């Protein structure tokens, strides 16, 4: 029916469709992409930092010299050339025992998560995940009709004791968690990193419980302060599925990611991928292979680190200077995001229309929790906008928050806000302990 939002197919959908919800981020894109809006939402890399002329010439050569294969169908697992290059990339992160035979190329990191959900999740199964966690992962798990139970974090990432408690609580309910989904390095959205000591403890806990680990590592190479900790997969190979992508270190438009899986599972992943997409794009794989083989990609990662470090600093400086008292935020040492907690009584989701009217966008914290909590939080991105644009965005956002605080003081609720500005993580509606 033209001109109406009525859905005449509701009674025909499969039961799994009932768990699908619109992403908070996707719903923002149409507004946030307007030029007059300063977007602190999204998670787009700064593609203009690439040598685009050289990349264009590389793509022209790929089509001219290898078009007969790069424009043809491929194999479900991905080309051996790319899988070998992927192993070289992982070695740079510390995963030095990987075989190309155990790598499955995917359509971005998102398909990697979808394939694992198809293999391991039945309706009603439990997935343990950090709270908050990546909104795209929540969409995958909800589509699989799984239940996500969040595990609390603090400045040092996921709390091992909270993981043990979540495993025990799930068992008491008569169920067993299928896997732990974790972004241990420069987490999205919180920006925190799982500490060295906790990495070993988390792996030990999962091993004792027979809990698989799905490690999502899109940001591990984007460290601003020395090398990031070794991935979980570099420490244990059994029971750990390592997912990553070239979207943050090269080009998200090519949609190329991968899974490094235990050998016994590799063939089932390939079969699931073939049933899903037949094969990943041969041209996109060829583009990434050529980039890794012929261009100075290691130097380009250093460029990204410098660009993002400058922008991280600009955002943090603006938050220090302009945010209302009582606002708190994380201080990431890499990645793309800052996680902020609002002063008491403010609601990031309810405030969003007023922020858009003030021409600034962010992502409300509710999108990063399966149960819709997170109203006192927001995710702020610093990778895409220039430093001066970031400061202007924070100025506009601060103005909206000040107005809401003033309205709250006049029309309801306590107007008393603590004068202590905490900068540790805020990973739930109730702020966590100050570890500073």
pLDDT tens profile 78-93: 999 999 999 999 999 9
CB 177 within 8 A of CB 169: no
Q: How far apart are alpha carbons 256 and 246 in whole angstroms?
A: 6
- Mean pLDDT value across residues 166-192: 96
Q: If you ran DSSP here, which 8-state letter would residue 254 be given?
A: G
- Model pLDDT, residue 26: 63
Residue 116 scores a pLDDT above 70 = yes
Query: The tokens of 241 are what?
Result: 């599925």
Residue 271 scores a pLDDT above 90 = yes
Query: The tokens of 318 are what?
Result: 């603006």
CB 234 within 8 A of CB 68: no
Q: How far apart are alpha carbons 344 and 396 in whole angstroms?
A: 19
- What domains are there in the chain, each with its CATH number? 18-50+299-409 (3.90.1150.10), 72-294 (3.40.640.10)
Query: The tokens of 36 are what?
Result: 């007059």
- Mean pLDDT value across residues 413-420: 36
Q: How far apart are alpha carbons 368 and 365 in whole angstroms?
A: 6
What is the per-residue pLDDT across 45-103, written as a single tens digit (0 to 9) for each? 999 999 999 999 999 999 999 999 999 999 999 999 999 999 999 999 999 989 999 99
- Model pLDDT, residue 420: 32
CB 42 within 8 A of CB 29: yes
User: 13 — phi, psi (to 5°)?
Assistant: -70, 150
How does strand 337-341 pair with strand 328-329?
antiparallel
Q: How far apart are alpha carbons 66 and 54 in whole angstroms?
A: 17
- Mean pLDDT value across residues 137-143: 95
Q: How far apart are alpha carbons 99 and 346 in whole angstroms?
A: 50
Q: How far apart are alpha carbons 419 and 338 in whole angstroms?
A: 21
Query: The tokens of 21 are what?
Result: 């919800």
CB 69 within 8 A of CB 273: no
Q: How far apart are alpha carbons 49 and 310 in whole angstroms?
A: 13
Residue 19 scores a pLDDT above 80 = no
With 0-12 / 13-18 / 19 or more C-beta atoms within 10 angstroms meaning exposed / middle / buried, residue 111 is buried
- Mean pLDDT value across residues 283-303: 97
């Amino acid at each position: 029916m033209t001109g109406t939002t009525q859905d005449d197919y509701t009674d025909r959908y499969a039961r799994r469709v009932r768990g699908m919800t619109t992403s908070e981020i996707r719903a923002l894109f149409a507004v946030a992409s307007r030029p007059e809006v300063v977007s602190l939402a999204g998670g787009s890399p700064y593609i203009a930092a690439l040598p685009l002329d050289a990349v264009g010439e590389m793509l022209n050569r790929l089509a001219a010299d290898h078009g007969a294969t790069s424009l043809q169908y491929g194999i479900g697992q991905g080309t051996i050339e790319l899988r070998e290059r992927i192993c070289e990339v992982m070695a740079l992160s510390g995963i030095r025992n990987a075989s190309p035979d155990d790598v499955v190329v995917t359509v971005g990191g998102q398909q990697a998560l979808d394939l694992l959900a198809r293999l391991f999740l039945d309706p009603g199964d439990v997935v343990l995940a950090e709270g908050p966690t990546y909104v795209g992962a929540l969409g995958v798990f909800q589509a699989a009709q799984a239940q996500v139970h969040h595990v609390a974090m603090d400045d040092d990432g996921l709390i091992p004791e909270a993981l043990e408690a979540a495993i025990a609580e799930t068992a008491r309910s008569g169920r067993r968690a299928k896997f732990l989904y974790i972004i241990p390095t420069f987490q999205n959205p919180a920006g925190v990193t799982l500490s060295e000591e906790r990495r070993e403890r988390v792996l030990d806990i999962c091993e004792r419980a027979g809990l698989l680990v799905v490690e999502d590592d899109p940001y591990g190479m984007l460290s601003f302060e020395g090398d990031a900790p070794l991935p979980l997969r570099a420490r244990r190979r059994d029971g750990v599925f390592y997912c990553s992508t070239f979207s943050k270190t090269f080009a998200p438009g090519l949609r190329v990611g991968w899974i490094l899986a235990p050998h016994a599972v590799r063939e089932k992943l390939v079969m699931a991928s073939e049933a899903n997409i037949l094969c990943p794009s041969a041209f996109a794989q060829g583009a990434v292979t050529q980039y890794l083989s012929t261009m100075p990609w290691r130097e380009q990662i250093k460029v990204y680190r410098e660009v993002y470090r400058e922008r991280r600093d600009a955002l943090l400086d603006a938050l220090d200077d302009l945010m209302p008292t009582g606002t708190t935020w994380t201080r990431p040492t890499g990645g793309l995001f800052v996680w902020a907690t609002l002063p008491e009584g403010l609601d990031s989701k309810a405030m969003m229309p007023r922020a858009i009217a003030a021409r600034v966008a962010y992502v409300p914290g509710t999108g990063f929790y399966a149960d819709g909590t997170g109203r006192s939080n927001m995710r702020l991105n610093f990778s895409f906008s220039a430093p001066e644009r970031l400061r202007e965005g924070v100025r506009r956002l601060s103005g909206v928050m000040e107005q809401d605080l003033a309205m709250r003081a006049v029309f309801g609720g306590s107007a008393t806000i603590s004068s202590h500005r905490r900068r540790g993580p805020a990973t739930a509606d109730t702020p966590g302990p100050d570890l500073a």
